[in-house]
Amino acid sequence: MKDYVAPLRDMQFVLREIAPLDEVSNLPGCGDVNLEVAEAILKEAGKFAGGVLSPLNRVGDREGSKLKDGEVKTPAGWRDAYRQFVDGGWNALSCDPHYGGQGVPRLVSALVEEMWNAANVSFALCPMLTRGAIEALELKGSEELKKAFLPKLTSGEWTGTMVLTEPQAGSDLSAVRTRAVKQPDGTYRLEGQKIFITYGEHDVAENIVHLVLARTPDAPEGVKGISLFLVPKFVPNADGSVGARNDVRCVSLEHKLGIHASPTAVLAFGDKDGAVGWLVGEENRGLEYMFITMNAARYSVGLEGVGLGERAYQAALDYAKERLQGTELGTKSKEKAPILRHPDVRRMLLQMRSRTEAMRAVAAVTAAATDVARAHPDAARRARSQAFVELMIPIVKAWSTDAAIDIASLGIQVHGGAGFIEETGAAQFLRDARITSIYEGTNGIQALDLVGRKVARDQGETIRAVLAEMRAVEAELEKEKDEALSAIAARLRDGVVALEQAVQYVVATYTTDLRKVLVGAVPFLELFGTVAGGWQMARAALAARRRLAAGGDGDPAFYKGKLQSARFYADHVLVRAGGLARTVVSGADSALAIADDEF
């Protein structure tokens, strides 16, 4: 199998046409990154992803990370690759310059992050979690904690984790029992066990900074009594160097379906004197603070979906071009044809390609809105953008990861029997992708968040504003008087109508019959994602047609391919919207009527 090649041309298209970087570059603090600089960053990132990370992907899958005598050894090449990653400044790409970061807009860093995930998702998980820890400390850490930890986390010399769940708790964080007792010097001592901690122990960096949810002795019950603590593997000395080993140890590593190279640890805090930790923010507000990290992580997990979709597509396309099997049906030729010529293989490949392009576009538009929400000088504009980002986070996370699993499965199907054999590598993408719909709150939880907090709570105001933008794109398509664009407009119009019906149902029913709405929460999320993807693909088609009319910018083949990909998405993916809407509006009774003992 060939190594990953970054889809630079499509990423350039996204930055020029879908989520225009020129608009982001005009924001305060973003002016240093124009299109020329951004494309140079993407080019260098693509080289690193394809030349350093991608060759290690199979190595990591075969070897996995190993635990011996409490220490974790990552696969061959991992430590050197991480050192190159840090030395290249990649960890600091989007971080605050005050702590040594480069301040690159999220729009650009998101596309770079997609590359890391496509090339080697097990590797990419480490800097992804570090970035989440950085964001939490930037917003809620004391000045002392920021000074002591942010420079090292930003550079990547130290890595970060999220330490949430426990054996008895799972996704129910109200059941967290880890205990934190305040000491006379203002620190805390933590005792408890945590599970499913990604990169909770490893050998790629000299220190690991854990952000841990725990309870103080007098904390109220439930989620209102959870606090957030910073607990390092090694307690730093006054000069910032690594000091004594803290009372934190790795009990075991999980044996997983995929992402074998990413060490998923069971951590014990306080087996001896208690693990030294510092309170982040105020007591009993830990879950609120952790959601800062979790939202950043949820978006990043969505980028894992985009990256894995791209990687699975590339592998399947390469195989389809090279594998000769059968003759081309409908022709008189007796020569063996590459399976790319077979209609069903073409259908599967275009499913993979068009959905990945739609996911990339949706993620990029959300990233650009994140930059606007952070830096725009107008408060009202910041608020609108933030509302849009919060609406779209469940889509980027859940819709993209569900799609990635399906795309990776299609990749195996394109390979046929060879895809079911580990040696071809196609199966790894499916195994690696499978966790993404579970990470950072399962996709069912993302759907509950979407229908409750993001749609019903504001009576559908934010999503209706998005629907209005979709209708505006539909009108622009019709103005072009072009057959292909008109066909896409018709599919988009049907999708918008279906989504509007589902939104009306959710808003009207949420407070009167909650269980009915929740039965359809996951189909609602899929519906919204499908239509949002169609919206962005319609915009891509419009831009491609206009570029072709102007001469094609020296690359007419790309724009023709983009137009065809958008048409395929409309005809094969967007058309599912009507059925999903009917499930949301009318599917609850059949799910709720069955008694428990009838299962």
Can you say whether the dihedral through the CA atoms of 99, 101, 103, 106 is positive or negative? Answer: negative
The rounded distance, in Å, linking the Cα atoms of 115 and 52 is 12
CB-count burial class (<10 Å; 0-12, 13-18, 19+) for 237 = exposed
Can you say whether the dihedral through the CA atoms of 282, 288, 294, 295 is positive or negative? Answer: negative
The rounded distance, in Å, linking the Cα atoms of 360 and 303 is 8
Arithmetic mean of pLDDT, 247-274: 96
Which residues have CB under 8 Å from 573's CB, separation 6+? 351, 354, 355, 358, 530, 533, 534
Angle at which helix 521-549 crosses helix 461-479, to 10 degrees, equals 30
CA distances to 13, 116, 155, 521 from 300, in Å: 21, 11, 19, 22
Alpha-carbon 59 to chain mean position: 23
Which residues have CB under 8 Å from 303's CB, separation 6+? 110, 113, 114, 117, 363, 396, 400
Q: Report the half-sphere exposure of 401 (CA within 13 A, side-chain side).
A: 32
| Chain segment 362-374, per-residue pLDDT in tens | 999 999 999 999 9
| Chain segment 561-589, per-residue pLDDT in tens | 999 999 999 999 999 999 999 999 999 99
The residues with which 72 forms a beta bridge, in sequence order, are 67
Arithmetic mean of pLDDT, 250-277: 96
Topology of 159-284 in CATH? Butyryl-CoA Dehydrogenase, subunit A; domain 2 (2.40.110)
Arithmetic mean of pLDDT, 95-122: 97
Per residue in 174-198, is it b (16+ CB within 10 Å) or e — as a string? Answer: eebebbbeeeeeebbbbbbbbbbbb
Give me the pLDDT at residue 111, please: 98
| Chain segment 150-163, per-residue pLDDT in tens | 999 999 999 999 99
- For the chain, the straight-line distance linking the first and the last C-alpha, in angstroms and rounded, comes to 44
Confidence class of residue 332 from pLDDT cuts 50, 70 and 90? confident
CB 284 within 8 A of CB 227: yes
Pair of tokens at residue 183: 């000491």
Give me the pLDDT at residue 542, please: 98
| Chain segment 380-403, per-residue pLDDT in tens | 999 999 999 999 999 999 999 999
Longest dimension (CA), the chain: 87
CB 353 within 8 A of CB 309: no
Arithmetic mean of pLDDT, 131-159: 95
| Chain segment 422-432, per-residue pLDDT in tens | 999 999 999 99
Q: Nearest-CA neighbor of 362 among 409, 404, 314, 397?
A: 397
| Chain segment 458-479, per-residue pLDDT in tens | 999 999 999 999 999 999 999 9
- Phi, psi angle pair for 250, to nearest 5°: -90, 120
Confidence class of residue 170 from pLDDT cuts 50, 70 and 90? low
3-state secondary structure of 327: coil
| Residues designated catalytic | 440
DSSP 8-state symbol, 215: B
